[in-house]
Amino acid sequence: MTQKEISSAVIERLPRYYRYLDELREEGVERISSAELSRRMRVTASQIRQDLNHFGGFGQQGYGYNVESLYNEIGKILGLDRAQNMIIVGGGRLGQALANYVRFEKRGFRVIGVFDHNPNLVGMQVRQCVIQYVGHLADFLEKHDVEIAALTIPRDEAAEVAKLLVDHGIRAIWNFAHVDLNLLFPDDIVIENVHLSESLMKLSCKLNMERWQSEE
């Protein structure tokens, strides 16, 4: 099967496989059985075999998986085998945190621009970038090859900025604003949402249920 036929459920799980394989590499492990990977990841061995068989020929009976080649193959599918330019719109603490995340660089994501409209932030150095005025965004996108934009701005501004980004060639938005941008764009614009307050609410919800149970 071709790589594009990988289901979205498998895509959800790939980064976690990638992380575990990276840890195994760091530990110097050269090969691993699906049973051992299952034990580490707490995923059933049959799930692992089913997921990883998508990439064909890497698991061998009696040998297991070659850690390095499986790591590289999954890296390719994740698009990590080449450098990708990224900008961050929203230079507040969250935007700065993303710009400073060395782990992204290690994966080939290069932050080449950070933008904000707040004059107190414009001009601030964040790692290798100086925060620029957001009015320069369109011009910047015309001059640079950028595929990914992280949006770390308030909800009210997100739709308008996202539209500008897409009009200037951005194909992928990493959205931290509390708005469902995917409802605004055609399917070929890729959007990944990180809704922090919803994540915190889920935590609170589960905690709340634990509390009821323990009170019984």
- Positions touching a second copy (CB under 8 A) are 2-4, 6, 11-12, 14-16, 18-19, 41-42, 77-80, 84, 92-94, 96-98, 100-101, 103-104, 107, 109, 147-148, 171-174, 178, 180, 183, 188, 190-192, 194-210, 212-214
Q: Which is nearer to a second copy, 94 or 164 (CB)?
A: 94
Q: Output the smallest distance, CB 42 to a second copy, in A.
A: 6
CA dihedral sign of residues 137, 141, 145, 150: positive
C-beta of 37: minimal distance to a second copy in Å?
A: 13
Identity at 127, one-letter amino acid code: R
CB nearer to a second copy: pick between 2 and 61: 2
To a second copy, the closest distance from the beta carbon of 51 in angstroms equals: 13
Strand order in the sheet with 64-66: 31-32, 64-66, 59-60
**Enclosing H/E stretch for 155:** helix 155-167
Q: Give CA–CA dist 133/126, Å, rounded.
A: 14
Q: What's the DSSP call for residue 148?
A: E
Q: How many CB atoms lie within 10 A of CB 36?
A: 16
DSSP structural state of residue 135: G
Nearer to a second copy (CB atom), residue 13 or residue 31: 13
Give whichever of 62 and 82 is closer to a second copy, judged by the CB atom.
Answer: 82
Q: Which is nearer to a second copy, 30 or 198 (CB)?
A: 198
| Least Cβ distance, residue 77 to a second copy (angstroms) | 6
Minimum distance of a second copy from residue 88's CB (angstroms): 12
- Work out the end-to-end distance of the chain between its first and last CA atoms, rounded to an integer number of angstroms: 51
